[in-house]
Amino acid sequence: MPEGDTIHYAARRIRDVLEGHVPDLVSTPHPRFGRDRWPERLAGRAVRSVDAHGKHLFLRFEGDLVIHSHLRMTGSWRVRDASPPARTPATTWLLLRRGDREALQLRGPVLELMTESRTRFDQRIAGLGPDILAPELDETKFLRRLREDDPTRGIGDALLDQRTIAGIGNLWKSEGCFAAAVDPWRATGQVSDDEVLAIVHELRPRMQASAADGRQSRWRRIYNAAGRPCPRCRPPALIQARGQGDGNRPTFWCPSCQH
């Protein structure tokens, strides 16, 4: 699942290829970029930095230009050897090559070239909550945003709101509530600050490890495990799954040991 850790891991790999360098090749094979002239606009510009905030990835070029990417449910980043040349998948939206390595963004769906100043005013970006993967998480701001939100919303659903905290997706929402033994269906107003922070503190080291090595699946204990025995309960209860929130995103939980 492309969640915050997936995007931070991609940023790390792309950084190794491009940061501090002018790409040898910038190409936008997808027809939707036909008239956008990215190769011309980015020609000769070095990549100053590659960073992520939550699920958003930014390639910052010299001269105030930024490539902004968000993968939603469908997109992906791939970093690979460019020699010998491999076939470029038909779903490639962006290809950046330097030396014998290249980064590809596949299947969009948010990929745009914008000015640095626009990233500071665009509400999709400027309105993001603190990044759960930040070296120092701003817990005060996170809790303030959470308490400003609808207190009747289930805590699992509330943690998906990127304006409250950025980077948690469906997998980590379920795993975090399970790790902290908090019922994801409990109304946020009935969940204490300590309980909310316990969820986030369970998640941070797991997500940081996944952001470092890309091995997200080794942390999966209950996600997509509906009907299987709970890994914690003795005797085992069964993991449940049900859609939650406006997006009806499946939530996994153990009704026996999460309260």
Interface contacts to Zn ion, rule CB under 5 A: 230, 232-233, 237, 254, 256-257
Say if residues 159 and 167 touch (Cβ distance below 8 Å).
Answer: no
> What minimum distance in Å lies between the beta carbon of 150 and Zn ion?
28
> What minimum distance in Å lies between the beta carbon of 253 and Zn ion?
9
Query: Would you mind telling me the total number of residues written for the chain in this entry?
Result: 259
Minimum CB distance to Zn ion smaller for 151 or for 231: 231
* SS3 of residue 138 by DSSP: coil
Write the CB contacts of 186 (distance below 8 Å, at least 6 apart in sequence): 154, 155, 259
One of 13, 15, 55, 98 is an active-site residue; which one? 55
For residue 48, which of 66, 60, 36 has the smallest C-alpha distance?
60
Minimum CB distance to Zn ion smaller for 46 or for 257: 257
One of 2, 23, 130, 184 is an active-site residue; which one? 2
Minimum CB distance to Zn ion smaller for 168 or for 179: 179
Cα angle 13, 109, 92 (rounded to 5 degrees) comes to: 60
What is the C-alpha separation between 77 and 92, in angstroms, rounded? 10
One of 48, 249, 250, 255 is an active-site residue; which one? 249
Minimum CB distance to Zn ion smaller for 67 or for 230: 230
> What minimum distance in Å lies between the beta carbon of 240 and Zn ion?
10
As beta bridge partners, residue 238 has 229
Active site residue 55: yes
What is the C-alpha separation between 183 and 95, in angstroms, rounded? 43
* SS3 of residue 63 by DSSP: coil
Minimum CB distance to Zn ion smaller for 92 or for 224: 224
Active site residue 249: yes
> What minimum distance in Å lies between the beta carbon of 178 and Zn ion?
8
> What minimum distance in Å lies between the beta carbon of 193 and Zn ion?
24
As beta bridge partners, residue 47 has 19, 61
What is the C-alpha separation between 250 and 235, in angstroms, rounded? 25
What is the C-alpha separation between 98 and 59, in angstroms, rounded? 14
Q: φ, ψ for residue 105 (rounded to 5)?
A: -110, 125
Active site residue 2: yes
Catalytic site residues?
2-3, 55, 249
